[in-house]
Each structure stands twice: as C-alpha cells, then as structure tokens.
Amino acid sequence: MKLRRIELIGFKSFSDRGEIAINESGITAIVGPNGCGKSNVSDAIAWVLGEQSAKSLRGEKMEDVIFNGTRSRAPMGMAEVTITLTETDPTYPNGNGNGSGNAVAPAGPRNVVVQRRLYRSGESLYLIDGKPCRLRDIQDIFLGTGLGPNS
C-alpha cells in the first residue's frame, strides 16, 4: 500500500481544509518553520490509522485533536482526517499464487480511502471508502502491511 493523499479538516492546527498529495516518486517532504504544524501531520496519520492514546498524539484527552480556536478563528466542532492509499495486487512470478501455475492478469491498483472523525460530543466515526465501519475493520486492512498507528 502506498500513501497518496492526506486531507485534514479541524485537526489540531489545521482549522481550514488542508491537503497533502504524495507524488509518484514517493518522496515528499513536509517543511516549515517551528510551530507551523509539521508534527501534526504525522499525528494525523497515526490518528486515522486508529491511535487511541491522546498522550501519543501529544494531548491530554482525545478531544485535544479538534482545532480549539484562536483570537481570530472560532473553535471547530469536529476533526476529520482522510488518507487515500493505493493498494496494489501482489505479483506471482510463477502463476496466480494458488499453485496451479496459471497466470492471472492482476486487477490493477485500487484506491482505499480511510477516514476518522471526532466530534466535541465525544462521538467518533470511522469510514472506509465512505462507508461507516469499526476500528477493527481499519486495523484489518493494514494487518500484515507494516502500517499502523505505531509505524
């Protein structure tokens, strides 16, 4: 799986919608001055992948991930992070992987969109491809890939 896009709305310092596209080369750098939110991007990825510890996200309680407002901006009512990943089919040099030796054309890459929302009320919502799901369903997608909140 390859990370292709990250979208943040109301997550920590991202009051407005922010989007980071990952180019085909796979090399992307997030740069900026101290305090501009670079670390919040990695927190957002861990959070959407299922991180449950507010302390791991540099907060005291989970609601701390919701943009809290400034002098000129009102607090947000929810935080939302969306990641888009490209899932590629495994390649089998000697057939289709089932032992028959018959080659099967791969279906090609498929995008998987994973979202997490948290409302100030404490209500939380996980989505895969726009459909509500459980945290366990998201964890199952990344099982065996090396991806997860701690990676």
Number of domains in the chain: 1
pLDDT at 99: 59
Assigned domain for 55 exists = yes
Name the residue range of residue 11's domain: 2-90+106-142
Assigned domain for 151 exists = no
pLDDT at 130: 96
Question: Does the reported pTM lie above 0.95?
Answer: no
Distance (Å, whole) CA 8 – CA 114: 12
For the record, the structure tokens of 62 come out as 């989970």
Supply φ then ψ for residue 48, to 5 degrees: -70, -25
pLDDT at 67: 97
Choice between 143 and 63, residue whose per-residue pLDDT is larger: 63
**Number of residues written out for the chain:** 151
Residues 6 or more apart whose CB falls under 8 angstroms from that of 98 comprise: none
Distance (Å, whole) CA 48 – CA 6: 10
Assigned domain for 148 exists = no
Looking at residue 30, which CATH number applies to its domain? 3.40.50.300
DSSP secondary structure string for all residues of 35-61: TSSHHHHHHHHHHHTT---TGGGTSSS
Assigned domain for 147 exists = no
In a 13 Å sphere around the CA of 135, the CA atoms on its Cβ side amount to 12
As a whole number, the mean pLDDT across the chain is 87
| Residue 111 pLDDT > 70 | yes
